[in-house]
Amino acid sequence: MNRMPAFTRRRLALAAAASMLGLLSVDGAIAGTWPEGPITILVPAPPGSSLDLNVRKAGEEMSRVLRQPVVIENRAGAGGSLALSAVARAKPDGYTVGIANTASIAISPELSKKPAYDPIRSFDFVGRFTTQPNVLVVRPDMPAKTVAELSAYAKAHPDKLTMGSQGIGSTGHLSGEMYRKASGATFTHVPYRGGPQAIQDLLGGRVDFLFENTASILAHVEQGKVRALAVTSAQRNPKLPAVPTMREAGVEGYEAVSWAGLVVPAGTPAVVVAELNRALQEAQRAPAFTSYVAERGGTVEGSTPAAFKAFATAERNKWGALVRSIPGLRDDPDR
């Protein structure tokens, strides 16, 4: 066996040490100066949406912590892929940040045979942001008063019931598909191009039920315009304390939540990721932010970068398996 000469080994060790010191000095320099200008957060949702409003509230607090403007740029469309693909292509310097969510990380890449980015490797994960359950709601004139009664009605009248959703591949759609698999209920899926349109048709009696996020449907539930049968989270929602979870309603093992978090392009300096995480966590502790999210039925979720990456990976595996189990869903031309 050929052995490397001792002097060669020493030279390689010195070179590696010098390289590491160089990286540390670069990181140290960045830590002392970053940020030196505005930070842009790309949001995969339209202005005025629940996610957009939450990000704007948090952005105000983060701007105070970082002492630089935080600019919100909306890039809605393609299940979050438009925003996240732009983040993946951006310079990894911390000045372009993306809001990753259930759709853009766990669902959309699985729907395409050639996704624009790798949902895990294309990004460095900063921290979790918020979580919000969907609510299973029905028309108030529906005979079903519980999830069990809805399931029984659907089985007795195969494919007669219609379920609206925010679109093919949305969390509302897949929450319904998860319910279909777990309960054996049969119904017809009616996709829309957004939550507002689906809600409007539910209010108008043109669809029978849907899974909609708490912030968007809460007012309609409180006004009696729709009936809430269950929330999709593992625990009851404080804004709807009398509404059971899907598990409590008899759908065994059911849990589906919409979540969001901050990501940056892969290769962003670790000190910048840490500083963004610090700013995010300080923003999440601000009373103005926590009360705003809670009032709309959401939950503030803080985490380390490593914990967020592990969570996102597990969610991708969970939702990806569901997508792959639904015939014809991938690359659906009508999506």
pLDDT the model gives residue 98: 98
Q: Is the pLDDT score of 4 beyond 60?
A: no
The number of residues making up the chain comes to 335
- Cα distance between the two ends of the chain: 60
pLDDT the model gives residue 3: 54
Q: What's at 243, amino acid-wise?
A: V
Tokens for 48, please give them: 């005025």
Q: How far is CA 79 from the centre of its chain?
A: 10
What is the sign, positive or negative, of the torsion defined by CA atoms of 272, 278, 284, 286? negative
pLDDT the model gives residue 1: 46
Give the long-range contacts of residues 219-225, CB within 8 A, separation 24 or more.
Answer: 220/137, 221/135, 221/137, 224/140, 225/140
CATH for the stretch 31-132+259-325 = 3.40.190.150
pLDDT the model gives residue 113: 82
Cβ 192 vs Cβ 166: under 8 Å? yes
- The residue that leads in pLDDT, 48 or 119, is 119
CATH number 3.40.190.10 given to 133-231: yes
Q: Is the pLDDT score of 24 beyond 50?
A: no
What angle separates helix 287-295 from helix 50-66, to the nearest 10 degrees?
A: 170
Q: Do domains 31-132+259-325 and 133-231 have the same CATH topology?
A: yes
pLDDT the model gives residue 36: 97
Average pLDDT over residues 49-69: 95
Average pLDDT over residues 102-110: 93
80 pLDDT tier (thresholds 50, 70, 90)? confident
In degrees rounded to 5, what are phi and psi of residue 213? -65, 150
Q: Is the pLDDT score of 299 beyond 60?
A: yes
Percent of the chain with pLDDT over 90: 77
Rounded-to-integer distance, Cα 114 and Cα 268, Å: 25
Q: Where are the domains of the chain?
A: 31-132+259-325, 133-231
SS3 of residue 316 by DSSP: helix
pLDDT the model gives residue 19: 52
Of the ranges 20-29, 76-85, 283-292, which is most confident? 283-292
* Of the candidates 159, 156, 155, 136, the residue with the CA atom closest to the CA atom of residue 146: 136
- The residue that leads in pLDDT, 46 or 287, is 287
179 pLDDT tier (thresholds 50, 70, 90)? very high
Give per-residue pLDDT as tens, 234-247.
Answer: 999 999 999 999 99
Q: Is the pLDDT score of 17 beyond 80?
A: no
Whole-number mean pLDDT of the chain? 90
Cβ 173 vs Cβ 256: under 8 Å? no
Q: Is the pLDDT score of 25 beyond 50?
A: no
pLDDT the model gives residue 5: 57
27 pLDDT tier (thresholds 50, 70, 90)? low
pLDDT the model gives residue 116: 92
State pTM to two decimals.
Answer: 0.84
Over the Cα atoms of the chain, what is R_g?
A: 23
